[in-house]
Amino acid sequence: MKEKISEDQRLHWERTYHENPSMYGSSASEPGAYAIDLFSRLGLKTVLELGSGQGRDTVPMLEAGLDVTALDYSDEGLRELRLRATRFEHQLGVVKHDVHEPLPFPDESFDACYSHMLFNMALSTEELISLTQETRRVLRPGGVLVYTARHTGDAHYGVGADFGDNRFENGGFVVHFFDRDLVDRLADGFELDDVTPFNEGELPRKLFRVTMTRSPIT
Ligand SMILES: C[S@@+](CC[C@H](N)C(=O)[O-])C[C@H]1O[C@@H](n2cnc3c(N)ncnc32)[C@H](O)[C@@H]1O
């Protein structure tokens, strides 16, 4: 059942990206611009992006001189990203992977991780805990994770089919709406540096932008 939901969701992303080659546009999002500024100021060079989609934040990161490994489970999203990023081949790695599985990277292989609106997809709380710990594993000590997630103040919270665990399906996508308690739970093994609410788009989507640093203790 869990595998079926994941595959249904992946296919929905494939169709949606196929029909919308520029679904989120091509300019950096607000958290994308924030992450570029933060990573550059801290001298963090190697970035793992989880759920890169069509690359609206990946390309600005490459333009800023960062080395990015972009991961997503959608062929269509990654195809568009490759088209947009042809001039940055030497700085870009592209990996097709479902984050329900352990991340396919060695321990301590990245300076930073960035993820805009992947954490709030169909993943359960237990799966999010595993993902965050996997992210911690592949970050070097002192490495920084910036992620965003729609929260329970969002207009779509509680609307549509109820998948349990604060997850609701709307427009074919299952969204996990975060409360502040979940943000704190996912910070195990990290220093929680900052949690900033922000809005995106016309609905507007209401999100948390979370910044945390991998604690030095392994
Ligand atoms: C809301 S979109 C955000 C895309 C991009 N970060 C942006 O802001 O433009 C979520 C992305 O996560 C990807 N995704 C969702 N669930 C995934 C999973 N289990 N494994 C890998 N990627 C996933 C989708 O394919 C999609 O590209």
Ligand 1 centroid to residue 217 C-alpha, Å: 30
Q: Does residue 118's CB lie within 6 angstroms of at least one atom of ligand 1?
A: yes
pLDDT of residue 216: 79
Nearest-atom index, ligand 1, CA of 97: 21
**217 has pLDDT over 80:** no
CB burial of 52-71 (b: ≥16 within 10 Å; e: otherwise) equals bbbbbbbbbbbebebbbbbb
Taking residues 142-152, what's their average pLDDT?
A: 98
Ordered structural domains, the chain, with CATH: 2-214 (3.40.50.150)
Distance 164 CA to ligand 1 centre (A): 20
Closest ligand 1 atom number to CA of residue 74: 25
If one residue of 69, 116, 121, 170 were mutated to test the ligand 1 pocket, choosing by the most ligand atoms within 8 A of its CB, it would be 121
Note the pLDDT of residue 218: 57
Of 132, 7, 127, 27, nearest to 74 by C-alpha is 7
pTM check: above 0.85? yes
Sorting pLDDT into bands at 50, 70 and 90, what band is 129? very high
Tell me which residue has its CA closest to atom 25 in ligand 1: 74
Ligand 1 touching residue 173 (CB < 6 A): no
Q: Whose CA is nearest to atom 1 of ligand 1?
A: 117
Rounded to whole angstroms, the Cα distance separating 179 from 136 reads 21
First to last CA, the chain: 34
How many residues are present in the chain? 218
Residue nearest to atom 26 of ligand 1 (CA): 53
147 touches ligand 1 (CB under 6 Å): no
Q: Are 64 and 36 in contact (CB under 8 A)?
A: yes
Least-confidence region, from 2-11, 116-125, 162-171: 2-11
Q: How much of the chain exceeds pLDDT 70, in percent?
A: 99
Question: What number is the average pLDDT over the span 203-212?
Answer: 97
